Structure 1
Amino acid sequence: MEKQAQKKEWFDEWFDTIYYHILYKNRDYTEAGRFLDNLITYFDLSANAKILDLACGKGRHSIYLNEKGFDVTGVDLSEQNITFAKTKENNTLHFDIHDMRDIYRPEAFDYVFNLFTSFGYFDSIDENLDVIRATVASLKPGGKLLIDFLNPYVVVNHLVEAEDKTIDNIHFKISREYTDDQYIVKNISVDDHGQHFDYMEKVKAIRRTDFLNYFDANGLKVLDLFGDYSLAPYEKEKSDRLIFVIQKPA
């Protein structure tokens, strides 16, 4: 599908700002590395496996997987993210600007990883289904898709409503709310030495049953459902994550 061009969507604007990267620059990537190591073991990835990192950001996870010896392509909608990521390219590591609602390369990948809540950015069910369809189309027959999403039950029930942070002398005032019984919204107010900017993050609180409906509509088989980065079983009221392993029919 063609992305409507009349108005910038929140993720087009926010992810391409310097403030997004400043706010999240101190993330703990040790946990992410352990998660990726667990996935390598779980999938028993072969040396010739081709992996698509869908919504890759600046490519940190693609780079990590590539350093482990795998052929990885990272795609993201943010031009700035991909411009940075391309400086790290090599013969088995590539990056492209891409909208996840569109097919990237038909039947080109053995695995697609959608990591760290890079899903649920769109308002409509149709757009979420477009993401699933396009992603499945990029998989080889029998290929596997991993979707790592937040657990909406836990996030909504433990929502931190207000937070203030000062990073690099830039002040961030953050508020969170659960709206319309379906969206987790983070409003970010930035004060950069007297200059003021307002941004937003908005993720649809997609439930397990909603995901299962998406997969069923595309004839996909759910192989596993995990609840954290150590790949423990999912528990609705306790698990931090909602991690699906899905297989495309052979």
Structure 2
Amino acid sequence: MLILQRTMMEEQTQKKEWFDEWFNTIYYHILYKNRSYEEAGKFLDKLIHYFEMPKDAKILDLACGKGRHSIYLNNRGFDVTGVDLSEQNIAFARQKANDSLHFHIHDMREVFQPATFDYVFNLFTSFGYFDSKEENLDVIRATCESLKPGGKLLIDFLNPYVVINQLVSEEDKTIDNIHFKITREHTKDDYIVKNIEVDDHGQHFEYMEKVKAIRRTDFLNYFDQIGLKLLDIFGDYQLNPYINDQSERLIFVIQKPA
């Protein structure tokens, strides 16, 4: 019986995906704690203006992390729901919850509250984590199901052309007296992989980030398969046009059929 229990535990550990582990650690938030809240706010302000969002709009923040975008949008007066796979992220975000700001643990590959939202925002490269095209399609299909007819989805992704061409292979950072050694590579199977070694006062941990280098044409194929309408492609947070070998970001605006 003991051997069987150990085998089951080992199988569960092996099945655990990298984002289940990394996003639930304190080190993820320490490493990225200097992300620009000011830049995020300016981007969201531009989106509110671009979409001409009415005050009664319902917004889903897909893969919301600790909820910084959800909280900002709610402060602007919108009804917002943030979902994320990380229990720790949601526990933290729920400290800011109110009658028009809600947070839930959720796997983006599954449908969340069908036909409920006017807008879904998937921000800061919270896509491409999975091992198959089918799972990427599952995310977009499930997200589409969460939208009301005519609702709009925004996907904010990295620009793989620029990231791969400018990839920094090694980097060392010390934050709050914790040392991070980061190595990056573009793999043969077209993933951008970041390996993170953490030295926390003598304790050593290793984590990984892995994002598929999904190109513009791949995304367009996904949208076409699901029957979504492409409205715009932007290349940065100022909503300038996308240029494949220059733009910082790859940002899509898609609409669900009415």
Which TM-score tier does this pair reach, normalised by the shorter chain? Answer: over 0.9
User: Cα deviation per residue 1:21-75 (whole Å; 9 max; x = unaligned)?
Assistant: 1111111121111100000000001000000000000000000000000000000
Name which of 129, 136, 151 aligns with 1:143: 151
**1:76 and 2:94 aligned:** no
Q: Give the counterpart letter for 1:29 in structure 2.
A: Y
Whole-Å Cα distance in 1 between the matches of residues 149 and 192 of structure 2? 35
1:86 equivalent among 94, 107, 117: 94
State the TM-score, normalizing by the size of structure 2: 0.94
Match of 1:65 among 61, 70, 73: 73
| CA–CA distance in structure 2, aligned partners of residues 244 and 201 of structure 1 | 23
Equivalent residues in 2 for 1:1-250 (5 A)? Answer: 7-250=15-258
**1:124-153 superposed Cα distances (whole Å, 9 cap, x missing partner):** 000000001100000000000000000000
Aligned residue identity for 1:129: L
Shift of 1:181: 4.4
Please give the alpha-carbon distance, in whole angstroms, between the structure 2 residues aligned to 1:207 and 1:26.
28
Distance of 2:237 and 2:191 partners within structure 1: 24
Would you say how many aligned residue pairs link Structure 1 and Structure 2? 247
TM, length-normalised to structure 1: 0.97
Q: Which moved more, 1:212-221 or 1:20-29?
A: 20-29
RMSD, matched Cα: 1.0
Query: Structure 2: how far apart are the matches of 1:151 and 1:36?
Result: 19
TM-superposed CA distance for 1:104, in Å, is 0.4
CA distance, structure 2, for counterparts of residue 247 and residue 204 of structure 1: 23
Structure 2: how far apart are the matches of 1:23 and 1:228?
23
Q: What is the deviation of 1:194?
A: 0.6
- Give unpaired runs (5+ residues) of structure 2: 1-10
Gaps in structure 1 of 5+ consecutive residues: none
C-alpha separation in 1, matches of 2:49 and 2:130:
32
More helix by share: 2
Query: Percent identical across equivalent pairs?
Result: 79
* Separation in 2, partners of 1:164, 1:29: 23
Q: Could you say what secondary structure the match of 1:230 adopts?
A: coil
Q: Tell me the distance in 1 between the aligned counterparts of 2:196 and 2:78.
A: 36
Which residue of structure 1 lines up, in the alignment, with residue 4 of structure 2?
none
SS of the residue corresponding to residue 199 of structure 1 reads strand
Please give the per-residue CA displacement for 1:69-124, whole angstroms capped at 9, x wherever unaligned. 00000000000000000110001000000000000000000000000100000010
- Structure 1 position 7, deviation (Å): 1.3
State the 4+ residue runs in structure 1 displaced beyond 4 angstroms: none
